[in-house]
Chain A
Amino acid sequence: MLVFTLASVSLVLVIGIGLYYQSLPVLANSSWVHLLSSSIWKPMRGLFGFYPFIMGTLWVTGISIIIALPLCLLTSFYLSEYAHAKVKRVLIPFVNLLSGIPPVIFGVWGVLFIVPFIQTSIAPHFVDFSTGYSVLAGGIVLAVMIFPLLVSIVNQVLNTIPQELKDASLALGATRWETIKKVTIRKALPGIIAATVLSISRAFGETIAVLMVCGNNAVVPHSVFDTGYPLPALIANNYGDMMSIPLYGSALMFAALLLFIIILLFNLISRIILTRLERNLAG
Chain B
Amino acid sequence: MTKRKLEELFIKILMILATIVVVGSFFLIVGTIFSKGIPYMSWDMISKIPGGGFYIGKEGGVLNAIIGSLYIAGGATILGLLISIPVALFINMYMASKNFIANTFRLAFDVLFGIPSIVYGAFGFLIMVYFGLKASLLGGIIAVTLLVIPILVRTLDEVIQTVPGELRDAALSLGATRWETAKVVLRQIRPGIFTAILLSFGRGIGDVASVLFTAGFSDNIPTSLHEPAATLPLAIFFQLSSPVEEVQGRAYASALILTIVVLIITVLSEILIKKFSKHKI
By a beta-carbon cutoff of 8 Å, the part of chain A in contact with chain B is 1-2, 4-5, 8-9, 11-12, 15, 18-19, 22, 70-72, 74-75, 77-79, 82-83, 91, 93-109, 111-113, 144, 147, 151, 175-178, 198, 201-202, 204-208, 212, 232, 235-236, 239, 252-253, 256, 259-260, 263-264, 266-268, 271-272, 275
Taking the closest CB of chain A, its distance from the CB of B78, in whole angstroms, is: 15
23 CB contacts below 8 A, A to B, read A5-B90, A11-B146, A74-B19, A104-B255, A105-B255, A105-B262, A108-B255, A109-B29, A144-B25, A147-B22, A175-B8, A177-B8, A202-B114, A202-B116, A204-B116, A205-B117, A207-B209, A235-B122, A236-B208, A256-B119, A271-B111, A271-B114, A272-B107
A18-B128 Cα distance, complex, nearest whole Å: 12
Given contacts A5-B105, A259-B118, A260-B119, contact A102 B206 (CB under 8 A): yes
Asked whether any CB of chain A lies closer than 8 Å to the CB of B167, the reply is no
Instruction: Among B87, B252, B263, point to the contact of A4 (Cβ < 8 A).
Output: B87
The total number of A-B Cβ pairs within 8 Å is: 235
Instruction: Among A100, A177, A208, A267, point to the contact of B209 (Cβ < 8 A).
Output: A208
Judge whether B91 and A5 touch: CB under 8 Å: yes
**B35-48 Cβ-contact flags toward A at 8 Å (1 or 0):** 01000000000000
B86 to chain A: closest residue by CB? A1
Judge whether A104 and B89 touch: CB under 8 Å: no
B80 to chain A: closest residue by CB? A8
Q: Which of B1-42 contact A (CB under 8 A)?
A: 4-5, 7-8, 11-12, 14-19, 21-23, 25-30, 32-33, 36
> Using Cβ atoms and an 8 Å threshold, which residues of chain B touch A93?
270
Judge whether A207 and B123 touch: CB under 8 Å: no
Given contacts A75-B15, A109-B29, A112-B36, contact A207 B94 (CB under 8 A): no
A75-B16 Cα distance, complex, nearest whole Å: 7
> Using Cβ atoms and an 8 Å threshold, which residues of chain A touch B202?
100
By a beta-carbon cutoff of 8 Å, the part of chain B in contact with chain A is 4-5, 7-8, 11-12, 14-19, 21-23, 25-30, 32-33, 36, 83-84, 86-87, 89-91, 94, 103, 105-112, 114-123, 125-127, 146, 149, 153, 202, 205-209, 212-213, 233, 236-237, 240, 251-252, 255, 258-259, 262-263, 265-267, 270
